Amino acid sequence: MPSSTRPDTTPHLQSRLPSVGTTIFTVMSALAAERGAVNLGQGFPDFDCDPALVGAVSAAMKQGLNQYPPMAGVPALREAIARKIDRIYGHAYDAGTEITITAGATQAILTAILCSVHPGDEVIVIEPAYDSYLPSIELAGGKAVFVQMDVSAQGYAVPWTKVANAVTNKTRLIMINSPHNPTGSVLREQDIKALADIVRGTDILILSDEVYEHMVYDGRRHESVCRHPELASRSFVVSSFGKTYHVTGWKVGYVAAPAALSAEFRKVHQFNVFTVNTPVQHGLAAYMADPAPYLDLPAFYQHKRDLFRSRLERTRFRLLPSDGTYFQCVEYSAISDQPEAEFAKWLTSEIGVAAIPVSAFYHQPKESGIVRFCFAKKDETLNTALDRLAKL
């Protein structure tokens, strides 16, 4: 029936997320497509994953592994994850009771928040922040308490004294993200120590979003909270195969957490998604037997970061450090005094390269004159973008 002839009887729905609208990511991608711009806005690779991974998944399908797996995930995959975490970070999670496979990190984050945050509880969010955090807290009835990162020529840093001052007797959870989207900053050992000092002796939980765990550069190590038993004992640690294996569209991730936290997580998970698709889990389990793909990832992306930075340094952009992730933030005051969203639109329409304003990662847009580029692209894509950006 054409919509004009439909009776207008749809009941009004009071939105549970009234402030959510079309995101800047959608706006910028649509504009990039319309203007034929190179899309360095949205964070995903424009190259394919390893054919061996596709082969492992299709082998699982052909073997008939196509029905519901156990609720917490395929045991072989949980065991492979537990082995990896033990090998790299030295923390032995029990694959049976402490690792749960999720429909991407986004579901892991939502479920971890839903199972731990009650109406009125406060959750400390460090901004700029990934855009799913705030709606997830709101859906749980929690209250987000924001602490903004400091930004200077040295890059972004978490002001731990401000985090400590934001703690109240209602604080239930502190959310951290390292390597950090959008800033490309990474937490160091002193950051982890500062966090441990804040939560010691409290009931505060930690949600550590580590989806970029295998993208840390210049020989640095990733400071997973798994390395720190004192923090691991109160943390949900979240990761994503989408980032590690160049398969963002597969939406498979996991959460590692102590048994008591995992048990509550699984209660919500069971009625949230129940479980995650079987053949992909089997394929990932087989593929994880070889650690090379994730161990080689820093070198793979550091090459792209260095290519991108070396040519961008010749423009009037001021480059902030990119110590991890596949993001490069740039400050553009020598080029324009436009607000970030306007500048990003101009860059897309007039220069032909899409970027994302960092202001979009604040609950109330904050202007710092900084935009984010994603360098998870083929070298030829990066070079095309760099040829265009060379005008600036």
Ligand X SMILES: Cc1ncc(COP(=O)(O)O)c(C=O)c1O
At 383, list the tokens: 């070079």
For ligand X, the nearest residue by Cβ is: 104
28, 45, 124, 130: which one contacts ligand X (CB under 6 A)? 130
Q: Is 250 in the site for ligand X (CB under 6 A)?
A: no
Q: Is 128 in the site for ligand X (CB under 6 A)?
A: no
181, 277, 281, 359: which one contacts ligand X (CB under 6 A)? 181
If binding means CB under 6 A, how many residues of this protein chain bind ligand X? 14
Q: Burial level of 134, CB count in 10 A (0-12/13-18/19+)?
A: buried
Least separation in angstroms between residue 254's CB and ligand X is 10
Q: Is 105 in the site for ligand X (CB under 6 A)?
A: yes
Least separation in angstroms between residue 157's CB and ligand X is 17
CA angle (343 as vertex; 341, 349 as ends), nearest 5: 105
Helix, strand or coil, per DSSP, at residue 114? helix
Choose the stretch contacting ligand X; rule: CB under 6 A; options: 248-256, 259-267, 270-278, 373-381: 248-256
Beta strands 370-374 and 318-319: pairing type? Answer: unpaired
Q: Is 283 in the site for ligand X (CB under 6 A)?
A: no
Nearer to ligand X among residue 266 and residue 372 (C-beta): 372
Nearer to ligand X among residue 324 and residue 352 (C-beta): 324
Q: Which of 306, 370, 385 is nearest to 334 (CA)?
A: 370
At 35, list the tokens: 């203007």
Least separation in angstroms between residue 300's CB and ligand X is 18
CA angle (319 as vertex; 316, 321 as ends), nearest 5: 170
CA–CA dist 185, 194 (Å, integer)? 16
Q: Is 100 in the site for ligand X (CB under 6 A)?
A: no
98, 122, 138, 209: which one contacts ligand X (CB under 6 A)? 209
Choose the stretch contacting ligand X; rule: CB under 6 A; options: 59-67, 102-110, 257-265, 356-364: 102-110
Contact 156, 185 (CB under 8 A): yes
At 230, list the tokens: 């004192």
Nearer to ligand X among residue 106 and residue 116 (C-beta): 106
CB within 8 A of 227, min separation 6: which ones? 89, 90, 91, 192
Nearer to ligand X among residue 104 and residue 324 (C-beta): 104
Q: Is 39 in the site for ligand X (CB under 6 A)?
A: no
Q: Is 248 in the site for ligand X (CB under 6 A)?
A: yes
Beta strands 99-102 and 253-256: pairing type? Answer: antiparallel
DSSP 8-state symbol, 172: E
Least separation in angstroms between residue 25's CB and ligand X is 9
